[in-house]
A and B are shown apart, each in its own frame.
Chain A
Amino acid sequence: MIRHILSRLLTVPITLLLVALVAFVILRLTGDPVEIYLDINATEEQRQLLTAKLHLDEPVLVQFGLFLGEVLRGDFGESLQFGGPAMPVVLERLGATLQLVAAALTLAVVLGVIGGIVAALRKDRFADFAISGLAVAGQSMPSFWLGILLIQLFALHLKWLPTSGTGGLEHLVLPTVTLATFLLPNFILITRTAVLETINELYVTTARAKGAGEAVVVLRHVLPNAINPVLSFLGLQTGRLMGGSIITEAIFAWPGVGSLMVKSIFQRDVPIVIAAIFVVAVAIVIANLIVDLLQSAVDPRIRLD
Chain B
Amino acid sequence: MATRRSGPRFGHRIKIGLGAAIVLGAVLMAILAPLLAPHDPYRQDLLARLQPPVWAEQGAWKHPLGTDNYGRDLLSRLIYGSRLSIMVGVSAALLSAVLGSVLGMLAGYKGGWLQQVIMRFADAHLAFPEILLAILIVAAVGGSALNLILVLGVSGWMVYARVMYNLTRAVRERPFIEAAVSHGASDAYILARHVFPQLVPVLTVVCTLQVAQMILQETALSFLGLGLPPPTATWGNMLAEGRDRLWVAPWIANFAGLAIILVVWGINMLGNGLREHLDPKAKERR
Contacts and interface: CB of A to CB of B under 8 A. Distances in A.
B100 interface: no
Contacts of B216: 142
A15 B261 contact: no
B131 A30 contact: no
Given A250-B223, A285-B127, A18 B121 contact: yes
Interface string B47-81: 00000000000000000000000000000000000
Contacts of A193: 285
A166 B286 CA distance: 42
B261 A239 contact: no
B132 to A, nearest CB: 5
Contact of B268 (A140, A144, A148, A149): A140
Interface string B188-205: 000000000000000000
A273 interface: yes
Dominant secondary structure of chain B at its interface with chain A: helix
Interface string B118-142: 0011011111111111011101110
Which 7 A-B pairs rank lowest in CB-CB distance, beginning with the nearest? A243-B129, A145-B257, A140-B265, A243-B131, A29-B140, A265-B139, A239-B129
A20 to B, nearest CB: 12
B246 A26 contact: no
Contacts of B253: 145, 148
Task: Assign chain A's interface to a size class.
Answer: 35 or more
Given A145-B261, A262-B224, A266-B225, A284 B247 contact: no
B18 to A, nearest CB: 13
B220 A239 contact: no
Contact of A261 (B125, B135, B260): B135
B4 interface: yes
A251 interface: yes
B239 A144 contact: yes
Contact of A148 (B139, B239, B285): B239
A303 B127 CA distance: 21
Contacts of A144: 219-220, 223, 239
B4 A18 contact: no
Interface string B236-278: 0001001100110010011011001100110010001000000
A53 B199 CA distance: 53
Nearest to B226: A265
Contact of A14 (B124, B137, B139): B124
9 contacts: A11-B120, A11-B124, A15-B127, A22-B136, A156-B247, A246-B224, A247-B131, A280-B129, A284-B127
Interface string A117-158: 000000010000000000011011110110011011000100
Interface residues on B, range: 35 or more
A30 B141 CA distance: 7
Contacts of A5: none
A196 B285 contact: yes
B212 interface: yes
A238 interface: yes
B246 A277 contact: no
A281 B226 contact: no
Nearest to A19: B128
Most A-side CB within 10 Å, residue of B124, B137, B219: B124
Contact of B141 (A29, A149, A151, A238): A29
A288 interface: yes
A34 to B, nearest CB: 17
A290 interface: no
Interface in A227-262: 235-236, 238-240, 242-244, 246-247, 250-251, 261-262
Most buried by A among B121, B141, B216, B219: B216
B250 to A, nearest CB: 6
Contacts of A11: 120, 123-124
A45 B4 CA distance: 82
Contacts of A136: 268, 272
B140 A30 contact: yes
Given A142-B220, A247-B220, A152 B137 contact: no
Contact of A139 (B4, B123, B268, B285): B268
A239 B126 CA distance: 8
Given A152-B250, A265-B139, A18 B268 contact: no
A29 B224 CA distance: 20
A236 B219 CA distance: 23
Contacts of A145: 239, 253, 256-257, 260-261
A123 to B, nearest CB: 9
Contact of B132 (A140, A242, A288): A242
Given A139-B268, A140-B265, A247-B223, A26 B131 contact: no
B137 A26 contact: yes
A148 B242 CA distance: 9
Contacts of B212: 140
